[in-house]
Structure 1
Amino acid sequence: MKKMKTIKIKKPKYLDAKNLFEDAMGYARKEASKISGIRNKNKMIYSKEKARINLMGEYIINKLDIYITSFPVVSELDQFQKESLASLIQLKEFKRELGYLYKLNTVIKTLKKKNLASIKRSDKPEAVRRIFYGRVLSLKKDVLRSVEKLNEIGKKLREIPEIKLIPSVIVAGFPNSGKTTLLKRVTGSEPEIAAYPFTTKKIELGYFTDKYKEVQVIDTPGLLDRKEEERNLIERKAVNALTNLEGIILFVIDLSEASFSLEEQKKLLDEMKKLEKKIIVALNKEDLASKEQIDKAKELFKEFDFILTGEQDKELKEKLIEKMS
């Protein structure tokens, strides 16, 4: 069975660095104590102290290496991933912190190498090991601070969804237009829903099947009709998905005009045409709209392929599938 292709970003690991240095020293002491079979007392001391330098250093270095490499490399990301990152974090801060932690880890590697060389020439191996421990521990505060910041960044990066490269429907519209409820009806997914604008703060995914083929429905945060530079980070997530992901657009209209007029919604929809994607208009919240509002919407959106959602989930799915073919 072929593995499905996806647009996904590396999910950074979480590192609990609070006791990293103490754990490293404890591990080194425990493992070094197992060394035996050396009759010469001085050689035994030398072997154990050398092992403690090597083991403590490797313990910290390996933990930090694994952690650092778990983060995505920005230059290797596609446009959707880059803009997803930019909508969640400050890229300059991310690069700076990751680079700084890499530098600190490089310092520990250098100290380990130098002190392993020094202990060979010293008649006081315990003193060399203590110097090494002291210098490494002097970096603890900076490592903890950097890891704490990167853990927060990593938490945000884990919000970026894994997009499947399959036929897709990108749901768009003003805040509170009923997009997420429609996603639930069409796909059966259980996204979080609340009765206030900008409920959807991140991209939500749902799926339905058409003759054994999976269709992906991508619910985007609500958009307002304003200039790009005036849009907040939540809105930019929607713009990113609409611009950089392949699929047809399902633009949801709130017929009741509870928050935005039909004319305002039409203006935003007209902007969508510039994306040169196929568009279906879902006239939503029919039960809350007057006959005049419904008739007005039919006239206003007659140039588009539209459907009154009502309870016509099957008809809506069929129209989406037809549009994708």
Structure 2
Amino acid sequence: MTTLYNFKQITPVPTGGDFLDIVLSKTQRKTPTVIHANFAISRIRNFYMRKVKFTQESFDERLKAILDEFPKLDDIHPFYSDLMNVLYDKDHYKLALGQMNTARHLIDQVGKDYVRLLKFGDSLYRCKQLKKAAMGRMATIMRRQKDSLAYLEQVRQHLARLPSIDPNTRTLLVCGYPNVGKSSFMNKITRADVDVQPYAFTTKSLFVGHMDYKYLRWQVIDTPGILDHPLENRNTIEMQSITALAHLRCCVLYFIDLSERCGYSIKEQVSLFHSIKPLFANKPVMLIINKIDAMKIEDVSAEDRQLLDDIVEKDKAQMLGMSCYTDEGVMNVKQTACDRLLQARVDAKMKGQKINDVLNKIHLTKPVPRDDNPRLPHIPEGALTKPKYDAQDPNRPKLEKDLEAEAGGAGVYNIDLKKRYLLESEEWKHDIIPEIWEGHNVADFIDSDIQEQLDELEREEERLEAEGYYKSDDEELNSEDEALQSTANAIRERNSITQIEARLKTVKNRPTLPKTAIKRKVSEVADHFESLGLDGTEVENRARSRAPKRARSASRGESVARSASMAARPSGGEGSVVRDRTTLGVRNVKQKLESEKVRQLSMRNANLHAKRGESDRAIQTKMPKHLFSGKRKSGSTDRR
């Protein structure tokens, strides 16, 4: 229901003065405000035409929102339509909405007329006066609607306070004379909290509570008390109950107070039941005898008992007793009422036309006997007389729990999961090789005669060896082959030594000499050795022999030529060829141009953002001075 009739979401309706202030201030804020007489006349006309059009559209938008949000009595459920007629007077409500619609059309017509006149304005003064006249007429129309706006705001506030009643769901409706215990019963079976007082007409409007029964959600409606007098004499409070009884599909719980503490006799309460009985048509009715703690059904007089029995017999009403004070029979009344309503809803569906469409889609298959042999149900012997497990019986079968206790308890006993395997041989139960391994049958990959075949192969090998099948004459190598083999061995040895030396050169943690030792001269090293009592001559000679010797050039021109040739030689070493890096991996000039075009396209996004490359994330100036300093002028906040 909340999705269909959510009256709490209706927008508040402003008063007549507030309505004008909202629209005119919006026009002032949303349209240009500066105009000069030296502007072109077309520009002046467009300026004032825009003002008039915007004001007319603002009025139209607000009035249309009011007309759309308020419910239309012809489009909503009859229960809500009649309830609004009872509470607000249907004619007055329609008249107020009609005046809003008329004002909307009048304002639209005024806007169109003055826009047409503004097209022929010949000066700034004439156009301004036409604009003032247009807005003045629109304001006059809205000032005349102040009473309708005030009335609609009162209706909106009252609609927001109405309970959310779903006219189509499972409903229990409680009715009867005032002060017979209707609200007390509702507080008992639902989560509602209805005010309960010891005087009549405590409940002045409809109250809704919810409960759960058989995993279904039910709503319970507490109605104001009804008095037994003609319909035209009933007030607004009573008419709410009459409206609910007339339009809601529900189970009616009619409460009767046998103790007559409510202020009305049993005869008057029965008379009220018969007067509103036409509203109970096609609804399950239950006669609830309340306050049985003060007066039981058996204690009433014979005349009053006959009145109650007539209701049960003639009107097919079920009579139940209960007491909200002692909670006696309250749950029984709730369950019985829910069951009766469920059965009534099922019967109504069975009588409708939709059931035929459902039954046409259902086909019940009945098996046909294939012969005349009777096949009675069979129950195995002992299935129903099987003795229960008795822990004290010494002859009972041993369980794993008993075996565990005998073997030393938990942590000592290890259950044998293979002892119940059903195999051809008992010896196979504890076989190490399983039957199935990773989804494959192990027997498919094992030959049962593997041992015999292996023995036969060994006998054949012995026979071939005895016959000399594997024997061969070793040919002596000649001198050329020996020389070739020795050369190959020497090459292999030299390669291994070269690899070891290369590894030693690349080791990063090799010991290095201190800088002081590197800066020492050969003569200083020789003197140091002599101070230690050693001969430094050999060390000095070896160092001088290993020093690089600079080749003398024949002339200065030769050295200059050599240096120029060295500078011109590429870094790849002697014999390398200089190539353009942009042509590497490209077959021809066409392919090179295509690759250059793709490269430029990939750089377009970065170029648009003035990036140096794909990894450029720098923000050059996070707070530009021209944007964050000085006085801000009127206008848009967006600097772009």
TM range (shorter): 0.7 to 0.9
More moved, 269-278 vs 126-135: 269-278
- Alpha-carbon deviation of 1:192? 3.1
Q: Contact 2:53–2:115 at 8 Å: present in 1 too? A: yes
More strand by share: 1
Give the counterpart of 1:15 among 13, 16, 20. 13
Q: Give the TM-score normalised by the residue count of structure 1.
A: 0.87
Gaps of 5+ in 1: none
Query: Residue type matched to 1:228 in 2?
Result: L
Q: Contact 1:166–1:216 at 8 Å: present in 2 too? A: yes
Query: Residue type matched to 1:282 in 2?
Result: I
Give the counterpart of 1:301 among 297, 303, 308. 308
- Alpha-carbon deviation of 1:48? 2.9
1:68 lines up with 2:77 in the alignment = no
Q: Tell me, in whole angstroms, the C-alpha distance in 2 between the residues paired with 1:67 and 1:269.
A: 42
1:269 lines up with 2:273 in the alignment = yes
Q: Tell me, in whole angstroms, the C-alpha distance in 2 between the residues paired with 1:233 and 1:293.
A: 37
Q: Tell me, in whole angstroms, the C-alpha distance in 1 between the residues paired with 2:49 and 2:198.
A: 64
- What residue is the counterpart of 1:285 in the other structure? 291
Q: Tell me, in whole angstroms, the C-alpha distance in 1 between the residues paired with 2:83 and 2:179.
A: 22
- Alpha-carbon deviation of 1:129? 0.9
Higher relative contact order (CA 8 A, sep 6+): 1
Q: Deviations over 1:264-308 (max 9, x none)?
A: 112222345432322112222334x24588544766534342222
Q: Tell me, in whole angstroms, the C-alpha distance in 1 between the residues paired with 2:140 and 2:274.
A: 60
- What residue is the counterpart of 1:83 in the other structure? 82
Q: Secondary structure at 1:163's aligned position in 2?
A: coil
- Alpha-carbon deviation of 1:44? 4.4
- What residue is the counterpart of 2:165 in the other structure? 163
Q: Which has the larger radius of gyration?
A: 2
Query: Residue type matched to 1:306 in 2?
Result: M
Q: Tell me, in whole angstroms, the C-alpha distance in 1 between the residues paired with 2:335 and 2:249.
A: 19
- Alpha-carbon deviation of 1:220? 1.3
CA 1:119–1:5 in 2, change beyond 3 Å: closer, same or farther?
closer
How do 1:198-237 residues align onto structure 2 when only pairs under 5 Å count?
A: 198-237=201-240
How do 1:169-184 residues align onto structure 2 when only pairs under 5 Å count?
A: 169-184=172-187
Q: Tell me, in whole angstroms, the C-alpha distance in 1 between the residues paired with 2:91 and 2:173.
A: 30
Q: Secondary structure at 2:198's aligned position in 1?
A: coil
- Alpha-carbon deviation of 1:159? 4.8
Q: Tell me, in whole angstroms, the C-alpha distance in 2 between the residues paired with 1:246 and 1:295.
A: 33
Q: Contact 1:255–1:294 at 8 Å: present in 2 too? A: no
- Alpha-carbon deviation of 1:41? 5.6
CA 1:47–1:155 in 2, change beyond 3 Å: closer, same or farther?
same
- What residue is the counterpart of 2:195 in the other structure? 192
CA 1:194–1:8 in 2, change beyond 3 Å: closer, same or farther?
farther
CA 1:294–1:205 in 2, change beyond 3 Å: closer, same or farther?
farther
Query: Residue type matched to 1:55 in 2?
Result: F
Q: Give the TM-score normalised by the residue count of structure 2.
A: 0.46
How do 1:95-106 residues align onto structure 2 when only pairs under 5 Å count?
A: 95-106=94-105
More moved, 156-165 vs 112-121: 156-165
Q: Tell me, in whole angstroms, the C-alpha distance in 1 between the residues paired with 2:40 and 2:288.
A: 84
- Alpha-carbon deviation of 1:183? 0.8
Q: Tell me, in whole angstroms, the C-alpha distance in 2 between the residues paired with 1:220 and 1:187.
A: 15
- What residue is the counterpart of 1:322 in the other structure? 339
- What residue is the counterpart of 2:111 in the other structure? 112
Q: Deviations over 1:79-128 (max 9, x none)?
A: 32332122112222222222122111211111111112221211232222
The alignment-based identity, stated in percent, is 24
Query: Residue type matched to 1:58 in 2?
Result: E
Q: Secondary structure at 1:252's aligned position in 2?
A: strand
Q: Secondary structure at 2:217's aligned position in 1?
A: strand
Q: Tell me, in whole angstroms, the C-alpha distance in 1 between the residues paired with 2:157 and 2:96.
A: 15
Q: Contact 1:208–1:214 at 8 Å: present in 2 too? A: yes
- Alpha-carbon deviation of 1:15? 0.8
* Alpha-carbon RMSD: 2.7
- What residue is the counterpart of 2:259 in the other structure? 256
